[in-house]
Structure 1
Amino acid sequence: MPASFIDDYHAHPWHQVIFPLTGLLQSNIGNKCAIVPHNAMLYIPANTIHKSVAVTDTQFLAMYLNPNKMVEYGAEPKSCVVTPFIRELLLLLFEKQMVQPSESNIAHLLMVLRDQIAVASSYDIPLLTPSDPRLMAIFTQLKQQPDLSFALKEWARIVGASERTLTRLCVKEFDQSFSLWRQSLRLVLSLQLLSTNRSIQDIALELGYGSDSAYIFAFKKLFNQTPSKYRSESLSYGLKMHHLLR
């Protein structure tokens, strides 16, 4: 999916597991939203109406699970952390579907996947993409120039709204302040930059942070790991998946 591509509301007759290779995906499921980066996956139950939006250029794999066969999965959608074990399990299932293993073999692996999804930590990254056109104008500009340091007063003048209106809209759409929403956006955008060879310091400066330590602190608070650890794990994962797809 290219950046800003929208796969509008639809449903699948089978359960779906989505896990990305590159980029960032936002899924809207009912009144819930989930951002799915490299170290997360999203489980969507069968016949659940959902919409997907590519925040950046995104490549992902989708696994479909028959709800009427082998294993009974949960009825609620879930965005969760992909542990190294879950990652290897997903890779194994994806590889095995190409060689047509026995049903009993697949059934046991799918039971393990079901149990792992059930016990995995939920991954609640704040919603990024707004619906209000004034916030969307800010969102589009910050995606292109995340280091912009305009104060709320300046943004209000640019988009033709009062500071009070923008503050109210951020609380309504994201349940957080404008500054926290902007920081979340910068941090999520940095996931894409971490797939390059650029230094942590360069990435921090491009995002508008005064130092790499400030960026590392904010990143760890949101993602529960350092940028360096995320980079090493996601790159290793990406290399495995690209090798598997060849």
Structure 2
Amino acid sequence: MTLSGGTLTSHVGDRIFTVFEGNGLWMPAGVVHGGRATAGAEFHDALFAPDRTPFVFEEPKAIEMTPLLESLLAHLSRTDLDAPARARAESVVFDVVRPSARQFALQVPGDPRIDAIAAALLDDPADDRSLEEWARLLGASERTVTRAFRRATGLSFAQWRQMLRVHRALMLLSEGFDVMTVSETLGYAQPSSFIAAFRRVMGTTPGAFFEAAADLSS
């Protein structure tokens, strides 16, 4: 799948991928997935026969949509290509396709001890209940919850919630909501707190991030 404008969120097994403008998502054959694109986003499918694919990414992966790759995929979308012409174009695609430097996937825990927390936060990322409150609600110790998050996702509870909020922020910002509205929607007390959290995850501010994405796609 290739994306133009906005973001695409795809739920694949126990992970949630967020793909930005200027990128695509490589999906191996047979992988069940679902998702949604933000308003104004356009995405296109490019299908390749597994037996004619000389390499396989073992898992879904964001790929960089260079101008050359976009041109090749547009060429392959033609319905008048004969088999030899299609094979030649596909061989070039497989030669130039590269993983994107921006791989942004959120691991969903899949641990019955903390699945209720993940489900509640996926439904409402602004839920600001503390680790202590969640542990008390689940009848578990804070240490148990912390270890479960670390083991299942590689992140602490606070880090996982922050990552989830940034995933949601990317979608909201792509739909045209301003930083203040996104900050309030996601439960931050001040826009500056949201911007700082975004920078910790993405390495830059929301404004700079989307400016860079626009430059890459232009």
* Aligned equivalents of 1:186, 1:87: Cα separation in 2: 31
**What is the Cα deviation at residue 166 of structure 1?**
0.8
**What is the Cα deviation at residue 178 of structure 1?**
0.6
Letter of the 1:74 counterpart: V
Give SS of 1:132's match: coil
- Counterpart for residue 6 of structure 1: none
**What is the Cα deviation at residue 97 of structure 1?**
2.1
Name whichever of 141-150 and 164-173 sits farther off. Answer: 141-150
* Aligned equivalents of 2:117, 2:138: Cα separation in 1: 8
Q: Is the contact between residue 152 and residue 163 of structure 1 (CA under 8 Å) also seen in structure 2?
A: yes
**What is the Cα deviation at residue 126 of structure 1?**
3.3
Q: Is the contact between residue 142 and residue 148 of structure 1 (CA under 8 Å) also seen in structure 2?
A: yes
Q: TM-score, normalised by structure 2?
A: 0.73
**What is the Cα deviation at residue 86 of structure 1?**
6.7
**What is the Cα deviation at residue 113 of structure 1?**
2.7
Check if 1:178 corresponds to 2:160: no
Name whichever of 202-211 and 214-223 sits farther off. Answer: 214-223
Give SS of 2:62's match: strand
**What is the Cα deviation at residue 119 of structure 1?**
5.7
- Over 3 Å counting, the alpha-carbon distance change for 1:154 and 1:199 in structure 2 is same
- Counterpart for residue 73 of structure 1: 55
2:207 to 228, 235, 246: 228
- Counterpart for residue 197 of structure 1: 176
**What is the Cα deviation at residue 65 of structure 1?**
0.6
- Counterpart for residue 209 of structure 1: 188
- Counterpart for residue 63 of structure 1: 46
Give SS of 2:47's match: strand
* Aligned equivalents of 1:119, 1:153: Cα separation in 2: 39
**What is the Cα deviation at residue 82 of structure 1?**
3.0
- Counterpart for residue 80 of structure 2: 100
- Counterpart for residue 9 of structure 1: none
Check if 1:163 corresponds to 2:145: no
- Counterpart for residue 26 of structure 1: 11
**What is the Cα deviation at residue 84 of structure 1?**
4.8
Letter of the 2:96 counterpart: Q
Once the two structures are superposed, what CA deviation does each residue of 1:56-86 show, in whole Å capped at 9, x if it has no partner? Answer: x4586442212344x6233533513434537
* Aligned equivalents of 1:224, 1:67: Cα separation in 2: 36
2:118 to 139, 144, 155: 139
Unaligned runs of 5+ in 2: none
Name whichever of 181-190 and 115-124 sits farther off. Answer: 115-124
Give SS of 1:37's match: strand
- Over 3 Å counting, the alpha-carbon distance change for 1:113 and 1:160 in structure 2 is farther
**What is the Cα deviation at residue 173 of structure 1?**
0.7
Percent same amino acid at aligned positions? 26
RMSD of equivalent CA atoms: 3.5
